Structure 1
């Protein structure tokens, strides 16, 4: 039996009205980033977006783990939020309201969301010179189908999206999109589109790549094969890394939590180990954005010893059912969906939201990537503490977060490393 999870994010509004045929939009690259030094004020991020991303991420995590109990689940909330936020710019009426509720965007106007997404993307990509984070967005439109110029330009400007027109009838069209995906995930994810149905008129895609080296790497000579205790009572021998030192740490009522910083320390991986006798699935029932924020705020630097497995995992999931369960069903209904913010005709709906995520954790650090594709169809996204000892030799939870904004980039639950 296998099991893991992982969690993630996201500008000048171009005025215009009416539709423009995609034959006239052209293949436009995203706006070039400002190469000048960013000021602290530029990097401030609206905390409402961070809260929305985390609440949505944990809610989605629970939907997925309940559907596949005992299996590894790994996702990037930030990637999913960003792809759906681009899509949300085209939603109207009941569809807009349903997406806002499901994504926890209540209280954020589209203008505020777009600005916050741009600020967050810039902040994360300049978070730490020793940690590589790239966030890329693209919008692929079917040649000959008209879309509103303002919708296209909003996503290009605020999300840095590459807007391209493609002949979806060309057998090489999927390969063109997949090359973009592979390039923006450093080859970690090679494909997100298999084929393009005749009903598909647009893909809105986000890609996130993360490569962080531990602030204090694990000594490879200390890594040993040791047993990992599976939920079903069986054991599996895995390479167990080890180190001692001072770590942000919390002993909760039924768990241990430790934070391992990358690079300069702004970004970190948080690992949660339920106490013996408490299953990971049982403990996860208590986890949401509120308890996550409360527990991570209580981490205190403590001397201790940590043992954890070296592991890698990947996840590939169509999110339609999970998103429908969170309240977005109307967006997938050809008869009810309203995406008149994309084009005047009320004939668009979401065909598929597809997510892929991969992660590899070793003695040197962590490499992770995620891609989310939204496929749009047409009818006609301190006090001294005693030393601790934490041996991660049974199912555990982990997440990669930005300690400055609090945004959760990735999260996962590992049942079998």
Structure 2
């Protein structure tokens, strides 16, 4: 494939990932509207799960998977995951002071029906994964414990269990999983001694709860964009330890750049309408990110820790992915010898903790600008400081800016709850 074609294919897959992230956010938000809970999930993890599902699929089933994933072809989707996701976005940078990142794929197949060589090679070579043979029929509990142990290892024990081992069905033939772990330090950490507790956070219904707020007391600059009805804050993570011997500033241009972006509505009850606007177009998020530093006055962001776990089959069906879940499908036969397969369930679990040092997050899916001030001449007066006080519900995203990849997404309705 010519270089222009490679770039074009990667761009198409990246746009597909953004569209999938918007669609997932819209549907997760709608599903949780009555429950009124916090939300965190990994669009990237689910996108990779779809890529894993496409490996070994064919016919109309493959067409549906590619349509939901937003990929022109299986080969282009595999190349995007390998070159953009695995080799760049999710490459571990902890040895040089950047984010600690772990990504892994695993396949567990029942010993009665071994994986076909082509499918196993795809998992190992394209997705850098591992494959194991287990006995789901006679030792289902032990098989599930093995899967849980793998997830715990990859996510640094942030996710220790995805399903109850005792609930494992003896009819399981294969489990395909991917897990993502991210831990990044803020480029400019918050001072713990400035964090205050028992301050009001206003829920959507107007009632207050007590929360811990991280603050910066002195006048400083942040990356904030002010739009009609909402503000956006971008908090960059440290990409490299600048004190390392041999460090050169030009190195930063070639490194992934992760940031947390907080979308804060002006109105205390404005998150639902803001989310509706955000999910109307996949480009909305990136079009409204801050592009410069502004002076900041009152600056407060709550600490929070969120957990989410659910089957996402109904969500995927609502996006148009139906055939893989039908028992009579015949388009998944390229995976295992002697077995007619269909996807029984897709389980997604995500955890995120945001504190003064940075963020730690994990997900599992089973199937610098300077602003100068002059004291002389006819320079205009400095701009008024912008306040950013996240004391009411907001949405957040962890993104990798050079590729535009949305790694984690969610919203905070009540930071006092660890859901």
TM-score (ref. length: structure 2): 0.83
Tell me the secondary structure at the aligned position of residue 206 of structure 2.
coil
Distance 1:325 1:209 in 2: 27
Q: Offset of 1:293 from its aligned partner?
A: 1.9
CA–CA separation in structure 1 for the residues paired with 2:92 and 2:231: 27
- Verify the 8 A CA contact 2:114 2:337 in the aligned structure 1: no
User: What does 1:223-262 correspond to in 2, within 5 Å?
Assistant: 223-225=195-197, 226-243=199-216, 244-262=219-237
Counting only pairs closer than 5 Å after superposition, residues 251-290 of structure 1 correspond to structure 2 as 251-264=226-239, 266-276=257-267, 278-288=269-279, 289-290=282-283
1:209 to 181, 189, 207: 181
User: Matched residue of 1:241: which SS?
Assistant: strand
Q: 1:258 to 1:385 in 2, by over 3 A?
A: farther
Cα 1:103–1:43 change in 2 (3 A) is closer
- Residue of structure 2 aligned with 1:122, choices 87, 93, 102: 87
Partner of 1:73: 39
* Separation of aligned partners in 2, 1:342 and 1:401: 33
Q: Distance in 1 between matches of 2:383 and 2:261?
A: 19
Asked if residue 62 in structure 1 is aligned to residue 42 in structure 2, the reply is no
Q: 3-state DSSP class of the match of 2:319?
A: helix
Counterpart residue number, 1:318: 311
Change (3 A) 1:167 1:229: same
TM superposition shift of 1:249: 1.4
- After superposing on structure 2, the runs of 4+ consecutive aligned residues of structure 1 that deviate more than 6 Å are 42-45
Alpha-carbon distance in 2 for matches of 1:43, 1:125: 19
CA contact (8 A) 1:334 1:348 kept: yes
The number of residues matched between the two structures is 366
SS at match of 1:46: helix
Deviations 1:360-400 (A, max 9, x none): 111111110111101xxxxxxx9975421110000001111
Q: What is the distance in 1 between the residues matched to 2:176 and 2:14?
A: 21
**SS of equivalent residue, structure 1 residue 342:** coil
Q: Please list every run of 5 or more consecutive structure 1 residues that lacks an aligned counterpart in the other structure.
A: 1-41, 375-381
Q: State the 1:344 CA deviation.
A: 6.7
Q: Which sections of structure 2, spanning at least 5 residues, go unmatched?
A: 1-5, 241-256, 372-381
Q: 1:137 aligns with which of 102, 105, 108?
A: 105
Per the TM alignment, residue 61 of structure 1 is displaced from its structure 2 partner at its CA by 1.5
* 8 A Cα contact 2:206 2:269, kept in partner: no
Q: Secondary structure at the match of 1:147?
A: coil
Look at both structures and tell me which one has the larger radius of gyration over its CA atoms.
2
Q: Calculate the TM-score normalised by the size of structure 1.
A: 0.83
Kindly indicate whether residue 349 of structure 2 is the aligned counterpart of residue 356 of structure 1.
Answer: yes
**Cα separation, 1, equivalents of 2:383 and 2:37:** 36
2:232–2:263 contact (8 Å) kept in structure 1:
yes
Alpha-carbon distance between aligned partners in 1 of 2:21 and 2:316, rounded to the nearest angstrom: 11
Instruction: List aligned pairs for 1:31-50, cutoff 5 A.
Output: 46-50=10-14
CA distance in 2, matches of 1:66, 1:345: 40
Deviates more, 1:67-76 or 1:204-213: 67-76
Secondary structure in 1 matching 2:309: strand
Partner of 2:147: 177
Once the 2 structures are TM-superposed, how far is the Cα of residue 86 of structure 1 from its aligned partner? 1.0
Aligned counterparts of 2:348 and 2:385: Cα–Cα separation in 1:
40
Q: Cα offset for 1:415?
A: 0.5
The structure-2 alpha-carbon separation of the partners of 1:229 and 1:84, relative to structure 1 and needing over 3 Å to count, comes to same
Moved more, 241-250 or 360-369: 241-250
**Matches of residues 331-346 of structure 1 in structure 2 within 5 Å?**
331-336=324-329, 338-343=331-336
Measure how far apart 1:277 and its partner are.
5.3
Q: Deviations over 1:340-374 (max 9, x none)?
A: 23247672111000011011111111110111101
Q: Residue in 2 aligned with 1:7?
A: none
Equivalent pair of 2:18/2:283 in contact (CA under 8 Å): no
Structure with more helix by fraction: 2
Over 3 Å counting, the alpha-carbon distance change for 1:359 and 1:138 in structure 2 is same
